[in-house]
Amino acid sequence: MVSAFFAIGPGLGAPSSIVLWITCAVMIAAAIIFSIMTRSASPESRHFYYASAFIVLWAATLYFVLASGYGYVTQPGGHVFLFGRYIDWVVTTPLLLLDMAFVALPKGFPGRNALIATLLGADVYMILTGFAAAFIRTGFRWAFFGMSCAGFLVILYIIVTKLTPEAARRSPDVKKLYTQISPLLMGLWICYPIIWVLSPSGWGVFNAFVATLLFAVLDVLAKVGYGFVLLKQPATLNQAETQTVEATGASRVATQY
């Protein structure tokens, strides 16, 4: 009966497939809502809304691919590797960080572009080495997992030592928004490697369905939930885009990292 309504890949099974279809539907709904919310945005801050809509649309596309029975391979031993997740993450996670950086750092901040490039580079490194860790089935996967965690630590370092201090200099509304989105996103991202370690890709404490469900929940919270928190205050996003370096009291010394 289920297979009459849902495409079920040979290595996934009905429960995982249904989770993927539901997540795809949630992402599509969020893309529509974020697009509608664009009407309340100023021209200066509209890119936040476009980025958020694209993030969930891209995620919906990859979840559609996975739910349709593609975007994964069944490896020797029966391990199902959902490489579609990493195609999703390598595009969407840099955009999530970019939004955060734009809230924290005013235009004209010394070293802004280089700092953001380093942040996004560390993120892409984290995802690609995570891809290798999930694909490799020998003990070498833990070396790549360690590399991926190192990339995540670089991201955390930049956020804690660079973005957060500068966000504290911004207007009260912008500062408040940053204190909402930054802990939310980082708190959720910390859960990803924990789930990976406990999933069949790591120690295999729980099965593939549980991993699929947990990753789907995290993706919805980190993309849809994060997007709603970010976009619900259009006036604050406008401040974030129009406030000058001088108004924030940001240091004129080039950022070192």
Boundaries of every domain in the chain: 2-248
Give me the residues of the chain with pLDDT under 50, please. 1-8, 251-257
CA distance 69 to 63: 10
Best CATH choice for the domain 2-248 from the list 1.20.1070.10, 1.10.3720.10, 2.120.10.60, 3.30.360.10: 1.20.1070.10
Question: What pLDDT was estimated at residue 253?
Answer: 39
Provide the b/e sequence for 46-68 (b: ≥16 CB within 10 Å). Answer: bbbbebbbbbbbbbbbbbbbbbb
Question: What pLDDT was estimated at residue 247?
Answer: 55
Question: What pLDDT was estimated at residue 185?
Answer: 98
Provide the b/e sequence for 113-129 (b: ≥16 CB within 10 Å). Answer: eebbebbbebbebbbbb
Question: What pLDDT was estimated at residue 244?
Answer: 66
pTM: 0.91
Question: What pLDDT was estimated at residue 89?
Answer: 98
Question: What pLDDT was estimated at residue 254?
Answer: 39
